[in-house]
Structure 1
Amino acid sequence: MSYLEYSVKSVPTGPRKILFLNWPLTILLVAVAGVGFLMLYSVAGGSYSPWAEPQMKRFAMGLVLMVLIGMVPIWFWRSVAGFAYGVSVMLLLGVEFFGSVGMGAQRWIDLGFMRLQPSELMKITLVMFLAAYYDWLPAKKKSKPLWVLVPIVIILLPTALVIQQPDLGTSILLLAAGGGLMFLAGVHWAYFAAVIAAGIGLIAAVFQSRGQSWQLLNNYQYRRIDTFLDPSQDPLGAGYHITQSKIALGSGGISGRGFMQGTQSRLNFLPEKHTDFIFTTLAEEFGFIGAISLLSLYFLIIVFCISSAIANRDRFSSLLILGIALNFFLFFAVNMSMVMGMAPVVGVPLPLVSYGGSAMLVLMVAFGLVQSAHIHRPRSSNL
């Protein structure tokens, strides 16, 4: 049912909106960010600089931004979904021509005060646009071939631009989040069976193309696959990251070595210890107990998002919340799988814990949309 079918008097107004924030979700986000501050302090050798202090400031900014976005009626975000998606596509095109290069990839636009990564923004605006599309589309048309083709184009356009940067990890996340939202919207399962079959064929083609003139991936991406399949082939080269990560994970045991006592991170054996591999630092210092505790916090965030989506009678709001929850799940699931050797290393940060500017702020914007949907959900009585 559409939001416009309900009286505007059925949602809170004015300053009282702050009372209707999803406070359990907010507290959980603060708790996870607190874990991140603690670990960034640890990997810096007991110093707030250079990582913990900037991260705290960004999170505080993000928290304010989340609340402000939450105060804006959800119908506004629905109305600007297409525009936001278009701006994100234009920014991705801008990266092609004006983007700054870092670590061999061209993924950022330098704004002076920060470097913006448009692919992070696209993860959210893609969900917004697809949720608005399926809110607009009559239920009887959602599995018709023509109306299935439209969201496929919406998903593939930014995915193709992100692959060019190159950023295989983010492009996979865009495909997974977009496809997942189509499934949640009720598109017939047969389409997904066809995609899975095509995916298997694509994987076979990727391996077959290696060394050919039509090679589908870059050489460094093939090396990541080789490392995933057998890290011991090159333990001091391509397999170094994952080998050191596994050593750190295993040395933590049940309760860990203790805060700031992790040898792999303290002695700089662990690369990217403040970004992609920060989970291994946590596991080394706090062990299985610390790792499962963080995972439980993530799980509770997903639970509160899903419960908010189920309770919401507005279709756009429900799909938006579920899409953001799916994105969040993919973030931490891929990162944890990567550092444990269960997936290739693709450079996906751990949400709210890894050091980073764009990822942190965009994620808080996403949860601001969740808050907006929660605060402005249609209710049965006047407030």
Structure 2
Amino acid sequence: MADPTGPDQAHMARAVELAALGRGTTSPNPVVGCVITSASGEVVGEGYHAYAGGPHAEIAALSQAGELARGGTAYVTLEPCDHTGRTGPCSEALLAAGVARVVHAVADPNPRAGGGADRLRAHGVTVEQGLLAERAEAVNIEWLTSVRLGRPYVTWKFAATLDGRSAAADGSSQWITSAEARADVHRLRAEADAIVAGIGTILADDPRLTARPTLDLTADRAPEGAPGPGKRLLRVVVDADGRTPPTARVLDGQAPTLVAVADDADARPDADLVRLPRTEHGLDLRALLKELAGRGVVSVFLEGGATLAGSFLRDGLIDRVVAYLAPAFLGEGRAAVGPAGVGTIAGIHRWHYQDIRLIGPDLRIIAHPLEMKER
């Protein structure tokens, strides 16, 4: 049985570190790390899933280990897959290499790919699950959420003053936070598959909704032979009435753009359109996320404005908040979030802090819902 305090834990911890190297480059596949030890317990192979369509973590680690994997142990953050997609089953590769023991942190919830553990056991391999599961879940939370809930993982980012204002009374907002905070935002954007903004933000700020190329994770991390210089984020505008102007920078062609309009809208935007049902609060956001999931979007980065953020919050569709708070006060101006379906303190949306740190002069707070409910 896996030792939660000895070498087993150390090897799985390293596998989690390796998995994190694939963040932002593997979608729509999971991030996975693998460490292989020999029969005598020495590390002989390491690998991670670096880009979609590339070798899986187990294959990369087995390639390093060679014959030294025979009789050894594979530590994997996610259950080895048991299906043939763009690559073959990792379960078969582990069997062919003669691995005697497999320790995986998290079971694969994908019914198409799962079953690797059962196949390995059926061929006499010792299989154990659950070591450092919480850490392995955290590094792969976007993909796990998308598979389990059938919708992308949603991160809401906002910047505000200490009194919760995201813009001054005249609408100006550039810049409330520092250059360091803005650089951090671009890093997080580059990890996502899609950036979502409301029409209010498009009309007020005319953003491009792109990540700076110098921070593109694919360019930094993908190995030789990986496709392209980096992925292009999908830009999504939530625009119920089709008011996106043809001159909007979000339509500049630098990245693909999807404009979501109501099914009864007289839409004018010269863009890829998706028509969605109206609700009493605007567009059906669950239908939007379902559409994005169908396009292979695993993670969404929700940016401005307050009305759209309030609607996502009301519908329980935000999985993570990243808030940048500047040490400043405005006293009046635009609030960071609009109505979120809370009429009394009993209906308050409770969250818990995951991380609090200074980014330049600003405070960055990362929080998650206190209760992760089925959504």
**TM bracket (short chain):** under 0.3
Q: Which has the higher helix share?
A: 1
Query: TM-score under structure 1 normalisation?
Result: 0.23
Query: TM-score under structure 2 normalisation?
Result: 0.23
Higher RCO (CA 8 Å, separation ≥ 6 residues): 1
Q: Which has the higher strand share?
A: 2
